[in-house]
Amino acid sequence: MNTERQSFFAQQAWVQGRWARDVLLNVDAAGLWSEVQIGAPVAERFGATVLVGPVLPALVNAHSHAFQRAIAGLTERQGAGGASDDFWSWRDRMYSVARRITPEQLEAIASLLYSELLAGGYTQVCEFHYLHNAADGAPHADPIDMSLALVRAAQRVGMGLTLLPTLYRHSGFGVQGLREDQRRFAGTPESLLRLVEDLQRQTLGLPGVNVGVAAHSLRAVDPAALAELAAEAARRQLPVHIHIAEQVQEVQDCLAHTGQRPIAWLLEHVAMDERWNLVHATHTTPAELQGVRDSGGAIVICPSTEANLGDGVFDYSGYTALGGQWSIGSDSHVTRSWSEELRLLEYSQRLTQRRRNVAAQPGVSSAAALFEAALAGGGSATSLPMGGLQVGCRADFLVLDSESSSLLGVPAESLLDALVFSSPGARFAQIGHAGKIAARSDRTAQLRQEFTGTMKALWGG
């Protein structure tokens, strides 16, 4: 938290969905924007810190499994004998690290990852966290150990963290218990809520840290446990996240077991509201999307992971035509930049619909429409005031490096378009978090060394 008010001046800044000139940005003692003045007179800029390039709001990364950064690039070969590869075979490979990683290794992996996400334009990450137990499935001596490893990682690099302890009880619909390689995920509503309480106590006052809850999926959480978790989350006003309808097999299994598709079942059996965030929702019907929209809930789209895993393509046009709210996540972290996620989201729509500028609206470019929607969805994902350069929102911002090759010679009004659709991605010259410009880390070499050592311990070489 800041102890005094601060002011910034930007010759060009993204305010209310468009570029504005000569913008004075004042920050209050709580690290929130207290005033955003467009066309600020010269006399009023006195004492303000001049930002070195065009300024954008920062985005929330609404879905992360930090430990999966350790397998990025390591799952791109077929199995023995050229066996077909899909989400479920990838999951088995992912478990090979999930069941072995220690708190110290998790901190090393998450520290480098969060520094990469900051560099990619995110200043808050929602960590969907289900590695609660020891590697053999027994409870840790301190059940909070793995969670605090993530908190330490975020604090080391200056990343905001919405930690989502995740309930995981069953290996599939109608199955009692977990597989051997899932035992360290195990929990109950009671154990999870105790973990939430412990985390809230131990992170009280840490900048940018808050706590919510998650249910892994309908296949992993039985109806009674989900109802108990949902009721407590509502009572405590916590954000709630859940994987849903990511894979065709998941939809088919849910139909066979319950007689309903996953989202239809959730809408009928849970009192969803604006605190609920449905991750992926790749396979939907128009009625389901309408139901999510009417409930006030939101969808978290993870384009790079959904493409990498062969999940399918989200019905972006159908959902946005209803006015549905969504946010962006990098999930397994094969990509760690929001501009790449937004580009892939638009390109997946162009490929399936065979037309250009699917997200665009009259007078609004595709990049602007995508960016504004992802920006608005961040508040739902985190239950924090994350909504852009506007009064009352957290004073997070990105300063573009105008010398980045993708921005050279681009007219001012097209900078966001070039950032999203011209590769390689532009760099950020400065990053602001709660009204403070993040210092360039002097720990980069140390973070890389710790990460490399952890990768060697996990994979050899």
What is the rounded average pLDDT of the residues 154-169? 97
Name the domain boundary from 382, 402, 420: 382
Do residues 76 and 151 both lie within one domain?
yes
pLDDT band for 147, please (50, 70, 90 cuts). Answer: very high
Distance CA 429, CA 398 (A): 8
Answer for the pair 133, 151: CB distance below 8 angstroms, yes or no: no
Do residues 318 and 356 both lie within one domain?
yes
Q: Is 106 helix (H, G, I), strand (E, B) or coil?
A: helix
Distance CA 368, CA 273 (A): 27
Do residues 88 and 185 both lie within one domain?
yes
Distance CA 277, CA 407 (A): 34
Domain carrying residue 34: 6-57+389-437
What's the token pair of residue 260? 């309903």
Tell me the pairing of strands 49-50 and 6-15: parallel
- Whether 239 maps to a domain, the answer reads yes
Do residues 394 and 309 both lie within one domain?
no
Do residues 43 and 79 both lie within one domain?
no
Q: Which of 55, 126, 119, 159 is nearest to 397 (CA)?
A: 55
Q: Mark whether 280 is an active-site residue.
A: yes
Catalytic residue among 65, 241, 243, 331: 331
Do residues 150 and 29 both lie within one domain?
no
- Whether 204 maps to a domain, the answer reads yes
- What is the chain's mean pLDDT, rounded? 95
- Whether 450 maps to a domain, the answer reads no
Task: Check whether 181 has a pLDDT greater than 70.
Answer: yes
Do residues 277 and 224 both lie within one domain?
yes
| Number of other residues whose CB lies within 10 A of the CB of residue 399 | 21
Residue 132 CA, chain-centre distance (Å), reads 20
What is the rounded average pLDDT of the residues 177-198? 95
Q: Mark whether 28 is an active-site residue.
A: no
Q: Which residues pair with 240 in a beta bridge?
A: 213, 276
Domain of 394: which CATH number? 2.30.40.10
- Whether 404 maps to a domain, the answer reads yes
Task: Check whether 29 has a pLDDT greater than 90.
Answer: yes
- Whether 103 maps to a domain, the answer reads yes
Task: Check whether 179 has a pLDDT greater than 60.
Answer: yes
Catalytic residue among 216, 280, 283, 433: 280
* pLDDT digit string, tens, across residues 217-247: 999 999 999 999 999 999 999 999 999 999 9
* pLDDT digit string, tens, across residues 337-349: 999 999 999 999 9
pLDDT at 88: 86
pLDDT band for 3, please (50, 70, 90 cuts). Answer: very low
- Whether 444 maps to a domain, the answer reads no
Task: Check whether 455 has a pLDDT greater than 60.
Answer: yes
- Whether 276 maps to a domain, the answer reads yes
Do residues 181 and 35 both lie within one domain?
no
Structural domains in the chain (count): 2
Do residues 75 and 182 both lie within one domain?
yes
* pLDDT digit string, tens, across residues 369-428: 999 999 999 999 999 999 999 999 999 999 999 999 999 999 999 999 999 999 888 899
Alpha-carbon torsion angle 186, 189, 192, 197, nearest 10: -170
Domain of 156: which CATH number? 3.20.20.140
pLDDT at 120: 96
Do residues 108 and 149 both lie within one domain?
yes
pLDDT at 137: 81
pLDDT at 81: 66
pLDDT at 82: 67
Tell me the pairing of strands 59-64 and 122-129: parallel
Do residues 229 and 131 both lie within one domain?
yes
pLDDT at 441: 63
pTM for this model (two decimals)? 0.97
Do residues 52 and 137 both lie within one domain?
no
Q: Which of 32, 436, 419 is nearest to 428 (CA)?
A: 419
